[in-house]
Structure 1
Amino acid sequence: MMDLDLLQVSAPSLAYICLGGFVVLLSMMTIFIKDKLYINEVLLGTGFGILIGPHVAGIFDPRSWGSDSRITLEVMRVVLATGLFTIGVELPKSYMWDHMKGLLVMVVPTMAFGWVLIALIIYYLFPSINYISSLCIAACLTPTDPIICAAIVSGTFAKKNVKEKLRHILSAESAANDGLAYPFLSISIYLTVEASTRVAIGKWFLVGWLYQVILGTVIGAVIGLIFSRIMKLSHAKGLIGRESYVVQYIALVIFTIGVASTIGSDDLLAAFAAGCAISWDGHFSLQTENEIFASVIDFVLNCACFIYIGAWLPFAAFHSPELDITIGRLVTLVIAILFLRRIPPLLLLYKFVPEITTWKEALFCGHFGITWY
């Protein structure tokens, strides 16, 4: 007789069943969900994670793996870097150079405005937090999210209803400002830990900008260009098949973030730069055209990532009166982020962005440049 102990189902096994079942059901109704209900896998995955998480069904509890946050960090790092690399690959060739003016306007002043304003709101809503700490928190809310942004820049609905120039500029901006949030965060940290403002600004420039941002971008670009040359040479000699190009979506991402994070540079910007560089001349994009494997991998990773986030959410911490944190204040902060972080600066600056021609397009770009960190 079979040992009954063998039939005991572990929590990870149940989590695998839930993840697989969710992806299967979602993939069967993708067109209806995205084109009729206007919902993507991000919202559904988070909601499903909450349902199977410790606060509802108790099937999946990532916090039970230990208090070390490195697991969560690495899961998010790989998923986000893969999305950034994919965006870089799918942009038209030499897009970043050709549209540099519009990108700089959308990224730098828009992020700076939202960073300062949201810090002021946090400082006002939560009196126990000083303004420098508020700047640190606001820096985490400053970048837009490239995975969520995919809901309005890819798919059938986006291609029918969103102009191509807007899809490209939103994709490029969401990828670029994800890594460029580092300087906003690092200046806040240095102002907190350093006794001298002069020393803090010096370290911010040397470490935050030169070492993390610029060096990370250069590393990613160099890796992308080197691998682009190698693959073109292999293709010319008949050593690489079409399907092998798609493998680079995972292999090159892991390699790039490994190199960048080893030396302490910005691994997210490195991944995006590698994606842009590897398809700079259009060869890589041409070879992977009409290949759906990359989008499938991206879809599965996004589902798994946001199910993880939904199960990981610390709902108990949403009400901490000792820290002045209440549900009402959090809701107020969310509303302020939605309406004030990006919409006002884009409405003021859109005339300097060639890709945005009307205030309605500026409103659209501002509204959908949200983040749900």
Structure 2
Amino acid sequence: MTDVLVLGGTGWLSGRVAEKWTVPTATPRAAGASRGASGRVGPTGAAVTCLARGGREAPYGATLVVGDRDDPGAYDAVAGRDWDEIVDISSNPAHVASALEALAGRTRHWTYISTVSVYAANDEPGADESAGLLALGDAGADEDYGRAKVRAEASVRASLGFRAAIVRPGLIVGPGDPTDRFGYWVGRFALAGDGEVLTPETTERGAQVIDVDDLAEFVQAIGRERWTGVVNAVGDPVGLDRLLADAREVAGHTGAVVPAADAWLEAHDVAYWAGPRSLPLWLPADTTGFWTRSNTAYRLLGGRLRPVRETLERTLADERKRGLDRERRAGLTRSDELALLDLLGDSRA
């Protein structure tokens, strides 16, 4: 039996990773893995332990060990045994470093889930894993998300060398997304019905998404095969016009789509990408490289990329369950959107 420790395991992505390990499933072939008669790696299951703060259940079949990673003894309950695989997703460099200090010597393989936000430049289309990373300042200084992940990656490489895989996902999407970014569009089109929907201009804009279940399946596969290296876990680039058109069709929206120019949106305090009062997935024009990163390595490793339309359908079902008009972490409220549409109409009159 394979023994797996997931640091977390009760959150959105980490919970799905734990679940993939507990449920025997056939998964895509990682590079170097042996093939069965079907050409796919056969079913596997594992004994999974999730180390988390508590308050949420571990996936069915996994064992929950309660531990706060801010506490000095957080790993005591899991450091006295050996593991075949450890998975960490933390963006807190101190948590990553302390986990490595306690556990690096007790595992055969470690998978760290990082992010494409570690890259220094976003203007080079098709850049691969060799692209330069963000520069680090003094240790302990306040760092943004990307730099925090760079520092965590450095700790993983220093402690584990060739026993680690570093996975750099792009925008993770799908049912249960706590960031509310991708689901905003299919949910908003559904909420609007035959009403107007405000969008950014989509010319030469795009997105690069990966379904959360495809990513979790990939993380389980490379952990099982103990693959080592760095890989961008990103989808194929898709034009924002195509993505919004698919979201609109899936949602059954029949109203008008009203685009606004970047300058107009910025002047009216609408933010790029994410967060309150934003238009999610909208990026500045000079960041083409952010949504066109190479996924060649991911595909060579057998990573799955389901059709974006399938993910939109799954996401809409989840949005309906959670409430199309609920308070969101990203996007415009419907009332704010309608007010902006009125202002935009006045400016064009």
- Higher fraction of helix: 1
Structure-2-length-normalised TM-score:
0.24
- Higher fraction of strand: 2
Higher relative contact order, structure no. (Cα contacts within 8 Å, ≥ 6 residues apart): 1
